Amino acid sequence: MSPILGIIASSRLVAAANSYESIATVTVGGAGAATVTFSSIPATYKHLQLRMMALGSADPTIKVNTSLPTKGHHLVGTGTSAASESIYGDYLDYAYSLSATNPSVGVLDFLDYADTSKYKTLRYLYGQDRNGTGEVLLGSKFWNTTGAVATITITATIDQYSKFALYGIKGV
């Protein structure tokens, strides 16, 4: 049987018992923050998962090492409408903006983050309730680089009580 290559192989995340290990957690304090950075990420896992619950304002951007994403795409649903589009630029998602009163939650998977023979891919799922007009986003981002991910930086106006947790996903 021949191996499964590329994004299909990367997307085969199977959560076996004890397959997630906590790498780092950030809870934003009373002064808020302009950035949340995870650095010195070990290259000992197959994938990374970033879980977030964030309050704040502005459209968040995300950097892998020092690079902004090259492009991406998303699907967005609001309960009354749905849309999809290609995204060019540095925002984590054009339709997505933090709110100071309604927390945003998200799960971001960095696939094959340490493999230096592949471009870097991020897949994400976000949700936010905006007092009955919430939205759900499913999408991906692409970095035209093969370097291992050693640093992840999220930039926005991030308010107190926001939490970010980075996990390493073993094997698969």
Could you write out the DSSP letters of every residue in the chain?
-PPP-HHHHHT-----TT-EEEEEEEE--TT-EEEEEE-S--S-SSEEEEEEEE-EEEEEEEEETTB--SEEEEEEE-SS-EEEEEEESSBS-TT----SSS-EEEEEEEETTT-TTS-EEEEEEEEE--TT--EEEEEEEEES--S----EEEEEEE-TT-EEEEEEE---
Report pLDDT for 16: 59
- Break the chain into its structural domains and give their ranges: 24-169
Report pLDDT for 60: 83
pLDDT for 19-49, tens place per residue?
899 999 999 999 999 999 999 999 999 999 9
Average model confidence (pLDDT) for the chain?
A: 84
The domain defined by 24-169 carries CATH number 2.60.120 = yes
pTM reported for the whole predicted model = 0.85
